[in-house]
Amino acid sequence: MRHSYLDSFSNLDSPIHRLEARAKIILFFALVVVCVTTPAKAYPAFAGYLLVLLVLLFLSRLPLKHVFKRALVVVPFVLMVAAFIPFLKTGVIGGGYNLGGMTISQSGLLVLWNVVVKSSVGVLSMILLSSTTPFDGLLKGFERLKVPHIFTTIAAFMYRYSFVLVDEAMRMKQARDSRNFKGRWIWDAKVIGHMIGNLFMRSYERGERVYLAMLARGYDGRSRTLEGERISTADVFFVITVMTLVVLVRILGSRGMFL
């Protein structure tokens, strides 16, 4: 069965794909942190971040449709905040809008803008990172950045087995749907409980078998790989350039001197 997976399109070739994993992790993490800590009123700064991301996106040659579809993940949360904006009455200092009996204060709109723009930058950065780096490369990058070994190992196992388990789950779903399951109400959750119980037993027993097989092959808690790629001067230079640009955008944008 096919599933669109975590690191789809990470096998393409582009300048962004070729960057070392550590460089990309640092770059995108820093970009998100700088953006989130920017005051909401620094409008030009956000335009600058989005521009940087768009240039990176263009360089990465990722299909726009894929990026856009992934980015829709934030929509429900944004809608929820948007729905509550009219109730946010703090500091109605004029300049509000009147929409069919509901007043929306300017500070409420500012909250909405803040949420929309920051979550967009966050989502775009993460999509760019995961779509340009194969998952095991990403984990190796984290390991070299001193993330606890046990954490990356659990994540590696999880990634490896998620394909098997998702396949198993999808097969069960297909079997269930072909037997005319029309889950519409909450008490139908019992059927899903049985499916998930079954899934757990199967995955647990698979985990045991895998562990024994690994022990038989000399597993001692470490997965050894050949000495991997070293971070090149060009990568360091690229990261430093983009970061300087982003920090400049933030400083100038916050002062309103940008553009």
Partner 1 sequence: MHIPDGFLDAKTLITTAVVSAGAVGYGIKRANEKLGERQVPLMGVTAAFIFAAQMLNFPVAGGTSGHFLGAVLAAVLLGPWAACLIMAVVLVVQCLGFADGGLTALGANVFNMGVVGGILCYYIFVVLKKALPRTRSSFLSAVAVTSWFSVILASAVCAIELAVSGTSPLGVVLPAMVGVHALIGIGEAIITTVVVAVVLSTRPALVGSYDLPIIPHPAGGETQ
* Distance from chain centroid for Cα 133: 12
Question: Which region among 2-10, 13-21, 50-58, 236-244 touches partner 1 (by CB under 8 A)?
Answer: 2-10
Of the ranges 13-21, 55-63, 147-155, 231-239, which one interacts with partner 1 (CB under 8 A)? 147-155
Q: Can residue 45 be called a binding residue for partner 1 (CB under 8 A)?
A: no
| Contacting residue, 43, 103, 177, 188, with partner 1 by CB under 8 A | 188
Report the site for partner 1 in 117-136 (rule: CB under 8 A).
Answer: 117-119, 121-123, 125-127, 129-130, 135
Q: Binding partner 1 by CB under 8 A: which of 2, 11, 13, 90? A: 90
Min CB(200)–partner 1 separation in Å: 6
Binder of partner 1 out of 14, 106, 114, 254 (CB under 8 A): 114
Q: Is 211 in the site for partner 1 (CB under 8 A)?
A: yes
165 touches 199 (CB < 8 A)? yes
Q: How far is the CB of 35 from partner 1 (least distance, A)?
A: 8
- By CB under 8 A, what part of segment 12-41 binds partner 1? 29, 32-33, 35-37
Burial (0-12, 13-18, 19+ Cβ within 10 Å), 140 = buried
User: Does 210 engage in binding with partner 1 (CB under 8 A)?
Assistant: yes
50 lies in the binding site for partner 1 (CB under 8 A):
no
CB 7, CB 162: distance < 8 Å: no
Pairwise CA distance, residues 195 & 198, whole Å: 5
Backbone angles phi, psi at 104, to 5 degrees: -115, 120
State the number of binding residues for partner 1 (CB under 8 A): 87
Which of 184, 178, 174, 70 has the alpha carbon at shortest distance from 119?
70
CB 50 within 8 A of CB 95: no
The minimum distance between CB 123 and partner 1, in angstroms, equals 4
Residues from 226 through 255 that contact partner 1 (CB under 8 A): none
Joined together, the tokens standing for residue 113 give 């803008």
Interface pick for partner 1 out of 204, 228, 237, 240 (rule CB under 8 A)? 204
Distance CA 172, CA 198 (A): 10
CA distance linking residue 45 with residue 246, whole number of Å: 9
Cα separation, 60 vs 55, whole angstroms: 9
Q: Give the nearer residue to partner 1 in terms of CB position, either 84 or 97.
A: 84
Is residue 79 within the footprint of partner 1 (CB under 8 A)? no
150 touches partner 1 by CB under 8 A: yes
**7/61 with CB nearer partner 1:** 7
- With CB under 8 A as the contact rule, the residue among 39, 151, 177, 234 that binds partner 1 is 151
CB atoms closer than 10 angstroms to residue 166? 14
Cα angle 231, 30, 229 (rounded to 5 degrees) comes to 15
